C-alpha cells in the first residue's frame, strides 16, 4: 500500500532525491535535517577568509550519470552544470613538465585510443585493451588483483580517474566498483564521460532547486532536527524521537532514513554498514584563473590531483588524503600553491587561501567495505534506507546517492 505521509530523515543528496521523487508523485513529504542547512557532503557555504561562497569540496559528475541528470531535470536545474562539447581531460606531469589532453570520441567505438594526438603519451594499445579485464573482475577482487597497476596508461589516466571516483588508493580498491564506473562511463563512449561541473556552486544546482521543488509540491524541510531514536514495534517504525519531540509514525506513514552510515548504525538495530572511511582535502586560492585555463586539469606526480578553475578562485582536490591530515594547514597550503603556480603558469605570491579537510568524506571503496553495504529494504515494512553507502553498486558518489534516494522512493511508492 502506498503510504500517505513520508518522513525523510537527512537532507543530503540521497534524502533530497527521495523527497523530490515522492513529492512529484503527490505524496506529503516532511524532511528532517540535523544541521541548519541542506546538502550534507555536497553543499556551498560562505567562507569568511576567502570572502566568497565555496563548496565543501570540488565535485564532478559525468554526462553518463543518468540518475543525477534525471534528478536535475526534475528540479529544473540541469542548466547550472557546465556542458562541455566533448570528453576532454587536460593533464600535466609535474615530474617531467609534460602536458597532454586525453580527447575521447563520442561514440561507442573508442577510436581515440588509436590517435596519438588524443591518447595518453607513451601508452600502448595493449594497455587500453587490458582494461577489459576489469569488466570481468572476480567477486571480491581488488583492482590490483585484476589489472596491471603500472605503465603509462595506468599512471597517467586510470589511477587519477579511479583515485577520484573511488576516493581510495586504486590498487586496494574494489574491482567491482571500478568496473561499474568503467561500464557506465568509459566503456560507454565519450558522450558518457564529459566532465560536468557546477561552476556557480553546488548548492545553486543540486540543493536550492530541490528545496524549492519540495516546497512547491506542499512538502516541508525542518532544520535542527537530529533523529535520536526510531521507535520500533510489530515490524514497523511507530515514532521518530528527536529528543525534544516525538513524532508518531501512523499506519499510513513511512520513513526514508538517509543519514550517513555511522548515524544509521546507531538508529537501526543490527544494521551492518561500512565502517572504514577516506578523507578528501581541498585547497582553495582566491585568484582569478588565467585566461584560457581549462576548467579542470589532472595532475600526475604531484600532491595536487586535480585543479579546478572557478570564477575568482583556483581549487585543488586531493582524494584518499588520510596521510595529509596531520600536516599543518599552512604547510599544506604553501606546498599545494607551489604546484598550482606551475600548473597555471602563475608568478604571484600565494593569495588568500583555505584548506578544507573532510575526514570522513566517503566510505573506503574496498572489497570488504563493499560487502557490508545494506539493501534499501529493512526488516521494518515502513522503513527504507538511502545514502551513498547503501548497496547502489557504485562508489560513494553523487550518482550513487541520488540513485539510492530514487530507489527508496520507488520502494515506497512505485510508479
Ligand X SMILES: Cc1cc2nc3c(=O)[nH]c(=O)nc-3n(C[C@H](O)[C@H](O)[C@H](O)COP(=O)(O)OP(=O)(O)OC[C@H]3O[C@@H](n4cnc5c(N)ncnc54)[C@H](O)[C@@H]3O)c2cc1C
From candidates 33, 47, 127, 184, binder to ligand X by CB under 6 A: 33
The mark string for 343-372 relative to ligand X (x by CB under 6 A, - otherwise) is ---------------x--xx----------
From candidates 21, 41, 119, 156, binder to ligand X by CB under 6 A: 41
279 lies in the site for ligand X, by CB under 6 A:
no
The mark string for 204-223 relative to ligand X (x by CB under 6 A, - otherwise) is --------------------
Sign of CA dihedral 401, 403, 407, 409: positive
What would the DSSP string read from start to end of 345-372? T--PPP-SEEEEEEEEEEE---HHHHTT
Q: How many CB atoms lie within 10 A of CB 165?
A: 25
13 lies in the site for ligand X, by CB under 6 A:
yes
Contact in structure between 363 and 372 (CB atoms under 8 Å): no
**Shortest spacing between CB 68 and ligand X, in angstroms:** 8
**Shortest spacing between CB 143 and ligand X, in angstroms:** 18
Q: Cα–Cα distance between 397 and 373 in angstroms, integer?
A: 14
From candidates 27, 54, 60, 256, binder to ligand X by CB under 6 A: 60
Window of 51-59, 106-114, 142-150, 173-181 that interacts with ligand X by CB under 6 A: 51-59
The full length of the chain comes to 415
260 lies in the site for ligand X, by CB under 6 A:
yes
297 lies in the site for ligand X, by CB under 6 A:
no
15 lies in the site for ligand X, by CB under 6 A:
yes
**Shortest spacing between CB 347 and ligand X, in angstroms:** 29
Strands (E) across 76-228 are located at 87-93, 99-104, 195-196, 220-222
The mark string for 220-239 relative to ligand X (x by CB under 6 A, - otherwise) is ------xx------------
**Shortest spacing between CB 107 and ligand X, in angstroms:** 25
Q: Cα–Cα distance between 253 and 115 in angstroms, integer?
A: 58
Q: Cα–Cα distance between 405 and 62 in angstroms, integer?
A: 19
From candidates 158, 273, 387, 392, binder to ligand X by CB under 6 A: 387
* Exposed/middle/buried for residue 378 (C-beta within 10 Å: 0-12, 13-18, 19+): buried
What would the DSSP string read from start to end of 179-214? HHHHHHTGGG-GGG--EE--TT-HIIIIIHHHHHHH
Q: Among residues 17 and 172, whose Cβ is nearest to ligand X?
A: 17
Considering only CA atoms, which of 55, 71, 59, 77 is closest in space to residue 21? 71
**Shortest spacing between CB 204 and ligand X, in angstroms:** 15
**Shortest spacing between CB 13 and ligand X, in angstroms:** 4
The cell for 270 is 543490527
Considering only CA atoms, which of 302, 288, 289 is closest in space to residue 91? 302
Considering only CA atoms, which of 147, 139, 93 is closest in space to residue 120? 93
40 lies in the site for ligand X, by CB under 6 A:
yes
**Neighbouring residues of 196: CB distance < 8 A, sequence distance ≥ 6:** 60, 61, 62, 63, 65, 81, 82, 83, 84
For residue 128, the surrounding DSSP H or E stretch is helix 125-130
Q: Among residues 118 and 278, whose Cβ is nearest to ligand X?
A: 278
57 lies in the site for ligand X, by CB under 6 A:
yes
198 lies in the site for ligand X, by CB under 6 A:
no
Instruction: Write out the binding residues for ligand X, residues 299-328 only, by CB under 6 A.
Output: none
Site size with ligand X, rule: CB under 6 A: 37
Q: Among residues 11 and 182, whose Cβ is nearest to ligand X?
A: 11
Q: Among residues 9 and 297, whose Cβ is nearest to ligand X?
A: 9
35 lies in the site for ligand X, by CB under 6 A:
yes
Q: What is the largest CA-CA distance in the chain?
A: 68
Q: Which residues bind ligand X (CB under 6 A)?
A: 9-15, 32-35, 40-42, 56-57, 59-61, 226-227, 258-260, 263, 280, 282, 358, 361-362, 387-388, 396-399, 401
Amino acid at each position: 500500500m502506498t503510504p500517505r505521509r513520508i518522513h525523510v530523515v537527512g537532507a543530503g543528496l540521497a534524502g533530497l532525491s527521495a523527497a523530490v521523487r515522492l513529492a512529484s508523485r503527490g505524496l506529503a513529504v516532511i524532511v528532517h535535517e540535523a544541521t541548519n542547512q541542506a546538502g550534507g557532503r555536497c553543499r556551498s557555504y560562505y567562507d569568511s577568509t576567502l570572502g566568497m561562497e565555496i563548496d565543501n569540496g570540488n565535485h564532478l559528475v559525468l554526462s553518463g550519470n543518468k540518475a543525477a541528470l534525471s534528478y536535475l531535470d526534475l528540479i529544473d536545474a540541469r542548466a547550472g552544470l557546465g556542458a562541455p562539447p566533448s570528453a576532454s581531460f587536460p593533464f600535466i606531469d609535474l615530474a617531467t613538465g609534460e602536458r597532454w589532453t586525453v580527447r575521447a570520441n563520442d561514440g561507442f567505438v573508442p577510436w581515440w585510443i588509436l590517435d596519438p594526438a588524443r591518447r595518453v603519451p607513451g601508452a600502448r594499445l595493449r594497455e587500453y585493451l587490458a582494461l577489459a579485464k576489469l569488466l570481468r573482475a572476480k567477486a571480491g577482487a581488488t583492482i590490483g588483483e585484476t589489472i596491471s597497476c603500472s605503465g603509462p596508461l595506468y599512471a597517467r589516466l586510470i589511477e587519477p580517474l579511479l583515485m577520484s571516483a573511488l576516493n581510495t588508493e586504486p590498487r586496494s580498491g574494489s574491482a567491482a566498483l571500478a568496473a561499474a564506473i568503467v561500464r557506465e562511463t568509459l566503456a560507454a563512449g565519450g558522450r558518457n564521460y564529459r566532465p560536468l561541473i557546477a561552476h556557480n556552486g553546488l548548492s545553486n544546482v543540486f540543493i536550492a532547486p530541490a528545496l524549492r521543488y519540495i516546497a512547491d509540491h506542499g512538502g516541508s524541510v525542518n532544520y535542527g532536527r537530529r533523529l535520536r531514536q526510531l521507535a520500533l514495534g510489530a515490524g514497523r517504525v511507530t515514532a521518530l524521537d528527536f529528543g525534544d519531540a516525538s513524532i508518531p509514525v501512523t499506519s499510513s506513514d513511512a520513513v526514508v532514513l538517509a543519514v550517513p552510515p555511522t548515524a544509521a548504525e546507531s538508529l537501526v538495530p543490527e544494521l551492518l554498514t561500512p565502517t572504514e572511511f577516506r578523507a578528501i582535502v581541498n585547497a582553495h586560492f582566491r585568484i582569478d584563473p588565467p585566461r584560457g585555463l581549462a576548467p579542470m586539469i589532472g595532475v600526475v606526480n604531484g600532491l595536487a590531483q586535480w585543479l579546478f578553475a572557478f570564477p575568482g578562485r583556483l581549487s585543488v582536490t586531493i582524494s584518499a588524503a588520510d596521510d595529509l591530515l596531520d600536516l599543518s594547514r599552512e604547510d599544506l597550503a604553501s606546498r599545494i600553491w607551489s604546484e598550482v603556480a606551475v600548473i597555471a603558469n602563475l608568478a604571484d605570491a600565494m593569495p588568500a587561501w583555505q584548506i578544507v579537510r573532510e575526514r570522513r568524506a566517503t566510505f573506503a571503496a574496498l572489497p570488504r567495505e563493499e560487502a557490508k553495504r545494506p539493501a534499501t529494504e529493512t526488516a521494518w515494512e515502513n522503513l527504507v534506507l538511502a545514502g551513498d553507502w547503501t548497496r547502489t553498486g557504485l562508489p560513494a558518489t553523487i550518482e550513487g546517492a541520488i540513485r539510492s534516494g530514487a530507489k527508496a522512493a520507488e520502494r515506497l511508492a512505485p510508479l
